[in-house]
Structure 1
Amino acid sequence: MTATTNEQNSAMLTSPSRLRKIDLLREKNIGKYLPLPQLVAVGDQSSGKSSLLESLTGIPFPHGQELCTRYATQITHRRDELQRIDVSIIPGPHASEGHAERLKLYRRQVESDEQLYTEFPTILDEVNAEMGIRTKANPGNSRTFSDDVLKIEKCGPKEDYLTVIDVPGIFRATAEDTTPADRDMVKNMVKEYIRDDRTIILAVLPSNVDVATQEILDLAKQYDKTGDRTLGVLTKPDTLTERNQKQSVCNLVLGTRMPLTLGYYIVRNRGGDDDGNPANAAVAQREEMFRHDLWRSLPRERIGVAALRERLQELLGQITDRAFPKLLIEAHAMRKEAEKALAELGPSRQTEREQQVYLMSIAGKFQQFVRDALDANYSYDDAFARDELRLITAVLNITEQFKQDFDNASHSHRFHNPTAARSDDPEASAPVGVTSPASHSETTAANDNDDLESGSTAQGGSLLETYPELKDIIVTDWTIEQPVDDVMEWIGQMRRRSRGVELGTFGPAMLASAFREQSRKWGPMTEQYISKVILAVHKFFLGALEFACPDARVRERLTPMILHELLDGYREGMKHALFLVAVEREKRPYTLNSVFNISLQTFRGRRVAAALAGKVRNEITGKYGTSQKLVVDYENIETAVRDRSNDEHEKENIHDILSVYYDLARDRFIDNIWHQAVDHVLLSGPTSPLGLFSEQWVIGLSTEKLDAVAGEPRGVTDRRDALQKKIRDLKEAMDVLR
């Protein structure tokens, strides 16, 4: 036995197993994911394709049954101990689940070619009915062509492995039962079958037509640009009568005209008048014509069905051996890609429980985000690279700026500084109740650089265009009115308009009235402050929701559902802040803080010191006159205290009490606004809007609202089902290939 014979026997032992696995993959529709090695016969409707398939496979396609060409037919030969022919249907790649399940149930089995020949017309009628093909027997069906596949598998102890797929023939002119849409569908079906680089294209070409005009060769060139996988099969040579026609066909086979890498083969199939059963057909007698005339010049290995069949088996084995090692790798990679795509869809959200779990997961992530933002734990998530998500930092910066602005500009009239002229007084630089114009100017500049907005009306309009839902909650004009330098004149006017019959003092109503006027900007400035905080919280809320819920569709449905309660939370923060303003301004000025008396006495002492500033002199002391001290005469002190008119004394008294009390009330108010309105109501209290979207909130949603927010779109459900099926199919493919 030669080495070549051993190699052939070895190939015969291994190749059928691989080929069978390829067919198993095709049955499972793996071909829609991975290009599978295959032989596909294509050509025009009148090319003799069906007759060629009969000759190659022995399957008796009845000549009167044109409907068998309305879908692809896969014909497989497989060696087996038992002789039989199995007929089944492989659902098309776009078949619905119900249609696919029904087609998979169809099974017919016959024992021999003769039995198949007898029963084949009935089988085809059944298959057409199952696929929904419109026929005379089933005129109510709507489909003229189908992408389902008729599978015919011949098994027997003498069968050599071969699988050929016959695709419906291309046609140009429509008939009574076909439409332009049918024509395009068939052409697209042919393209789908020949596009993969693991497909050998059997271009069936009638000899009596110039091959240069055959559309199938143009299609083949589109997808097989190098021509390495197109094999021409010339049919109907017996119809040629003229010598130049025969010579032209011979030139094709000899490769001197329109050459193909795989070349051309020429065959003679049975005609319409031949015995209908190919098993009894005189194949050798039909091919006797190739021993005469110009046909004698052709190489024997390019003539006849037997030579073509042997070559096709060889080609199928070659492309299978080349592709087989790659298929497992490709299936594994494609499965991983599908699993990744499935994971990106997130968990399934088709049932109420799945929807609830999905939303609770988002709410949990959101609340974790809130906790980290309030704790300044910005290393937890990369999202905190965005400044608006660094919530507590933004709110503290806003609050510090608010305190500076409030210290410098919340009073209507700038308090008098009795020690301002004394540069040698170390305490004069920070007198109680006094703010210098310079410091306010600096504060205004700092406020203009606020990282939210500078507070102009134009920018406020821009804010409301971005967040129109905040229109009735926040103020957007953030300009600050500066105090005026007329405090003593103002106190004098107020005293003249409000004085009663009092001896050496003034009534509490006057102090209350003065405090209300001095604090009239507290309300507007507090609204500005709370507006900035609400804006910071709102930006954070929307940004955090975006990171917790990356699905834009779910966010678009979730946000309006939360928004009403969210805005109510903002309103409550603003309401509480203005309540605190009212408490401070509308009640009688009063404090239990002992600092009030200490500060008032200090303030009065500075006023006396200011009055004596021009009467202080230096005295040299010490044994050798080396020391100095400031000295004032006693009578000067008495004069400084006594030489004041009642009006001046009353104005200074009102001024000093108001100034000291104002400082205490202002500091108390700033603390209360922060702790109560901002921290408790808006940020971390039990009714904070940041705590609104939580697991408890999700649990409280009705079935209808759950589905409205988290229900999976039909497109996503279909995509998920398709990916899950793809993963299952590819897993089965990997099991087959191992």
Structure 2
Amino acid sequence: MAGTNRTGLSNQVLLDKIDKLRELNVRGLELPQLVVVGDQSSGKSSVLESLTGFSFPQAPGLCTRYATQISCRRDPEQQVTISIIPRPGADAALVRGLRSFRRVTSHLTNQDLETIMNEANQVMGIRIDENHTDPSLHAFSEDILKIEINGPEQEHFTVIDVPGIFRVPSPPLTTDNDVIMVRNMVESYMQNSRTIILAVLPSNVDITTQEILKMAENADPDGTRTMGVLTKPDLVTENTTREAIMDLISGKRNRLRLGYCIVKNRSADDQSSTLADRLVQEKAFFANATWNSLATSRRCGVESLKVRLSDLLMSITKKELPNVKMDVASQLESCRVSLKSLGPARIGQGAQRSYLGGLASRFQTITHCALNGSYDGDSVFTTEPDLKLITAVTKMNEKFANDFCEKGHKRHTSSDGLNEDEKAFDLNCAEDEPSSEDKPTDYPELCDVIEKEDYDCPEPIAFEEDSIVDHIERVYQDNRGPELGTFSGSILAVVFKEQSEKWSPLVRAHVSQAIILVHDYITKLLANICPDRQIRDQLWGHLIIDKVRKGYDRAMRQAHFLLRIELEGKPSTYNHYFNSEVQKKRLGRLDAAIDEQPQIFDSEVGLCFPAPILRSLVVDKNNMQQVGEDILDVLSSYYKVSRKRFVDVICRQVIGHFLLEGELSPLKVFSSELVMGLEAEELEMIAGEDAETKDQRAMLELEIKNWEAAMKLLRL
């Protein structure tokens, strides 16, 4: 194996690139890698020593308390470099301290190695034995010890060793928490979908009961990236155990797609043999008659194992590198978006005022587009279609006008319901307009502002069911004065007020729904432009909510004011349309009466009516009938004029002016002028960065730096 270059130059560059990415230790980046796992007594250290040629010190506590990355490189000069890769999320001071540790030597003795390892343990804060009582020390670390072995006989190869699984703590050196921590650390490495798991298992135990295989199965259910490495075959004494092992090696009883390999460790008493000596001893062992059936297997011995692992590492690296690039690009963009959502650093009044001013400017720009239907002016309308405010308001107003026209009166004024010109224009908007149940009405801050979220307007009373003519006669009899052949304005006022008694609940429900719609728009837009929940809550609670509530209250009071004018004042209009309507009603009544009379057809003149019949139409009525018809004609005409006037005024004044576009509209509250008027204490309270935000910003900036470094490496 020594001296053969199985990896070309391009492959070596590729593997170097992955190792450099690993050195960055970017949180969340899964890299192709070989990870050796097993119990503390499984023979892991001996396997690693045989694979890498690196002899780990035997002193207690060394090389067992953290993950160790061992990288072998072909290089003309012999050199060993030992350094520390800081854990993800470590603070800047700790990172500087850990990265400052670096030991380089061309000739490493066991004594030198023990000294260096002790120094590394101290830098990482490892408690070696019970004499170290400093509470800041810990038994295990999430930092990574990096060992680079360069030499002319080396081949490019990287493997990661993690602490061995143990189940019983040894107080005060290790605790139950350490048992859990080591297990979690091992599982985290195994869960990486780009990790080849090397499960080291002693041959002299029942393989099926080994916990490390259960853990590997949980991480790799299909067994596609797990390889079993059997050790200590020299301790196997029973034939049945040996046959079971041979079946595993040959694949007869194997659920692992990568299969099993077997190696022989050096004996516990062998402290002086070289790696070459051990390879010779291993070959001699497997040439023995007991094991010679495996001697020619590509799954027997350290040399075969290293070849398989080198091929696996290169294969998974080539396969996963495009996915690694995509992950890096995705995570970098995600961190940039998260950092952008925090806005610029807000230290000092100027930065805080500038930040809030930017939010206010964006709020007003989007609102301008929302009120003018310029939805192509900002991408927010694509991601948040609920912000298309004027579209929703227009549909709501149209439905309000239609409901008002079709059902706003208490009684129909004719047997066929409304006249054609009084019927609502169907814009097919009723189906599209969400009901109040679909709208977010759970705003406790509006409970004392909105009055009627929903109103199921009943159908008008049918003409046949309770004739309005009879009703007018009753009202007239109960309220008539000394007028002769006429009626007083008070009678019209009484009849009109009853006919329009549904106006108040219709208007209060419509304005309440409009307030909810505007309030929902404001809250959603604020959430969109200011993702920082703390700033948004402060902005909302201390600056916006009271002012928008006043705007809603003004709109509702204006609606009540208009209702009082229409329903409690004297009926009045200067609209020429009113007189035209009265004449049309009378003419229509006359036309209907004529159509019911006998007709004479003259070939020269055409259709003729006898004069006595025509005279009877005019004079053949009693006083009550004549007054009743006059009241009905005036009522119908005035109601129509008043209804059209009132609907427009509600939509234009209450909704359009007070809620949407007026100077005191709730939509104008959050403005640059408001921000410019804030005092220093208010700025700090609303926009000042707390410790959590500062930490989050620092963390994101560091992660972006690391992701950018990773992206740069991948582009080389």
Q: What is the TM-score when the length of structure 2 is the normalising length?
A: 0.72
Instruction: Say if 1:180 and 1:36 are closer, same or farther in 2 by CA, change over 3 A.
Output: same
Question: Could you tell me which residue of structure 2 aligns to residue 485 of structure 1?
Answer: 470
Give matches, 1:19-34, under 5 Å. 19-29=15-25, 33-34=29-30
Instruction: Say if 1:398 and 1:102 are closer, same or farther in 2 by CA, change over 3 A.
Output: same
Cα distance in 1 for partners of 2:108, 2:59 equals 18
Q: Is the 8 A contact 1:355 1:707 kept in 2?
A: yes
Letter in 2 for 1:400: N
What CA deviation, in whole Å up to 9, does each residue of 1:435-491 have, x standing for no partner? 2144169999999x99599xxxxx999999867745664344744775462434543
Question: Could you tell me which residue of structure 2 aligns to residue 155 of structure 1?
Answer: 150
Cα distance in 2 for partners of 1:616, 1:202 equals 111
Question: Could you tell me which residue of structure 1 aligns to residue 404 of structure 2?
Answer: 402
Q: Does 1:682 align with 2:658?
A: no
Letter in 2 for 1:334: D
Cα distance in 1 for partners of 2:283, 2:391 equals 85
Question: Could you tell me which residue of structure 1 aligns to residue 163 of structure 2?
Answer: 168
Letter in 2 for 1:370: L
1:575 aligned to which of 535, 557, 560: 557
Question: Could you tell me which residue of structure 1 aligns to residue 464 of structure 2?
Answer: none
Cα distance in 2 for partners of 1:515, 1:169 equals 97
Instruction: Say if 1:437 and 1:470 are closer, same or farther in 2 by CA, change over 3 A.
Output: farther
Cα distance in 2 for partners of 1:218, 1:577 equals 72
Cα distance in 2 for partners of 1:563, 1:403 equals 35
Letter in 2 for 1:319: L
Question: Could you tell me which residue of structure 2 aligns to residue 537 of structure 1?
Answer: 514
Cα distance in 2 for partners of 1:669, 1:59 equals 98
Instruction: Say if 1:637 and 1:608 are closer, same or farther in 2 by CA, change over 3 A.
Output: farther
Give matches, 1:496-575, under 5 Å. 498-499=481-482, 511-521=488-498, 524-538=501-515, 540-541=517-518, 544=521, 548=525, 557=537, 565-575=547-557
Partner of 1:230, secondary structure, is strand
In structure 1, runs of 5+ residues without a counterpart are: 415-434, 454-458
Give matches, 1:184-583, under 5 Å. 184-194=180-190, 199=195, 201-205=197-201, 214-217=210-213, 219-220=215-216, 223=220, 230=227, 232-235=229-232, 237=234, 261-269=259-267, 271=269, 274=271, 284=277, 295=288, 310-338=303-331, 341=334, 347-350=340-343, 351=346, 352=352, 353=354, 357=358, 360-361=361-362, 364-372=365-373, 383=385, 390-405=392-407, 409=410, 435-439=413-417, 451=430, 469=446, 473-475=450-452, 476=455, 478-479=457-458, 483=468, 485-488=470-473, 490-495=475-480, 498-499=481-482, 511-521=488-498, 524-538=501-515, 540-541=517-518, 544=521, 548=525, 557=537, 565-583=547-565
Letter in 2 for 1:683: G
Aligned length: 668
Instruction: Say if 1:245 and 1:271 are closer, same or farther in 2 by CA, change over 3 A.
Output: farther
Cα distance in 2 for partners of 1:12, 1:266 equals 30
Cα distance in 1 for partners of 2:241, 2:568 equals 116
Letter in 1 for 2:401: T
Partner of 2:263, secondary structure, is strand
Cα distance in 2 for partners of 1:463, 1:233 equals 65
Cα distance in 2 for partners of 1:288, 1:100 equals 44
Partner of 1:68, secondary structure, is coil
Letter in 1 for 2:168: A
Q: Is the 8 A contact 1:409 1:440 kept in 2?
A: no
Shift of 1:399: 1.4
Cα distance in 2 for partners of 1:62, 1:10 equals 29
Cα distance in 2 for partners of 1:601, 1:451 equals 34
Shift of 1:178: 2.0
Partner of 1:232, secondary structure, is strand
Cα distance in 2 for partners of 1:345, 1:33 equals 18
Cα distance in 1 for partners of 2:182, 2:547 equals 59
Letter in 1 for 2:324: A
Question: Could you tell me which residue of structure 2 aligns to residue 691 of structure 1?
Answer: 667
Identity of aligned residues (%): 24
Partner of 2:402, secondary structure, is helix
What CA deviation, in whole Å up to 9, does each residue of 1:531-550 have, x standing for no partner? 24224424543665687567
Question: Could you tell me which residue of structure 2 aligns to residue 669 of structure 1?
Answer: 642
What CA deviation, in whole Å up to 9, does each residue of 1:631-685 have, x standing for no partner? 5479x979987x999xx49x967984x6676566545533442343321231244
Question: Could you tell me which residue of structure 1 aligns to residue 98 of structure 2?
Answer: 103
Instruction: Say if 1:436 and 1:543 are closer, same or farther in 2 by CA, change over 3 A.
Output: same
Cα distance in 1 for partners of 2:164, 2:385 equals 59
Shift of 1:69: 0.7
Q: Is the 8 A contact 1:69 1:169 kept in 2?
A: yes
Partner of 1:154, secondary structure, is strand
Cα distance in 1 for partners of 2:593, 2:222 equals 107
Question: Could you tell me which residue of structure 1 aligns to residue 349 of structure 2?
Answer: none
Question: Could you tell me which residue of structure 2 aligns to residue 61 of structure 1?
Answer: 56
Cα distance in 2 for partners of 1:248, 1:604 equals 114
1:183 aligned to which of 179, 182, 187: 179
Q: Is the 8 A contact 1:474 1:527 kept in 2?
A: no
Question: Could you tell me which residue of structure 2 aligns to residue 135 of structure 1?
Answer: 128
Question: Could you tell me which residue of structure 2 aligns to residue 124 of structure 1?
Answer: 117
Letter in 1 for 2:139: T
Partner of 1:85, secondary structure, is strand
Shift of 1:334: 1.8
What CA deviation, in whole Å up to 9, does each residue of 1:415-454 have, x standing for no partner? xxxxxxxxxxxxxxxxxxxx2144169999999x99599x
Cα distance in 2 for partners of 1:196, 1:244 equals 38
Partner of 1:150, secondary structure, is strand
Cα distance in 1 for partners of 2:50, 2:533 equals 60
Partner of 2:373, secondary structure, is helix
Cα distance in 1 for partners of 2:31, 2:450 equals 62
Shift of 1:88: 0.6
Letter in 2 for 1:108: R
Partner of 1:165, secondary structure, is strand
Q: What is the TM-score when the length of structure 1 is the normalising length?
A: 0.70
Shift of 1:89: 0.6
Cα distance in 1 for partners of 2:31, 2:267 equals 31
CA RMSD, Structure 1 to Structure 2 (Å): 5.8
Instruction: Say if 1:384 and 1:216 are closer, same or farther in 2 by CA, change over 3 A.
Output: closer
Instruction: Say if 1:523 and 1:113 are closer, same or farther in 2 by CA, change over 3 A.
Output: same
Shift of 1:150: 0.9
Question: Could you tell me which residue of structure 2 aligns to residue 73 of structure 1?
Answer: 68
Q: Does 1:112 align with 2:107?
A: yes
The higher radius of gyration belongs to 1
Q: Is the 8 A contact 1:253 1:302 kept in 2?
A: no
Cα distance in 1 for partners of 2:458, 2:93 equals 69
